[in-house]
Amino acid sequence: MVSDEPTTTEYDYEITPRTLGLGGGWNLRLLENGEEVGGGVFPLPEHCDFRDEKALQTLLDSLYEDALAEASAWLASR
């Protein structure tokens, strides 16, 4: 039986931390109906000073905001 009801596409995203072995920072997954359809990587700079915890946290926060902005723009375009 075929339904006459319109199907709804669900769009979402996930931002997850990346391990330092992969470069640290954040991984963005763009999801359509639960399936990954795109995304991006927001790594720490190659020569990051991990001894300065405040600067590192500021950098991580900035990278997270970049990933969130990318996700928000993608959602707004849907």
Query: What is the structure's pLDDT at 4?
Result: 65
Domain count, the chain: 1
Is position 1 within any domain?
no
Helical ranges in the chain per DSSP H: 53-76
Is position 5 within any domain?
no
* pTM of the predicted protein model: 0.87
| Burial class of residue 42 (count of CB atoms within 10 Å of its CB; 0-12, 13-18, 19+) | buried
Query: What is the structure's pLDDT at 6?
Result: 64
Give the span between the Cα atoms of 68 and 13, in whole angstroms.
Answer: 9
Q: By residue range, what is the domain housing residue 28?
A: 11-76
With 70 as the cut, is the pLDDT of residue 19 above it? yes
Is position 2 within any domain?
no
Distant-in-sequence, close-in-space partners of 1: CB < 8 Å, separation ≥ 6: none
8 A C-beta contact, residue 26 and residue 64: yes
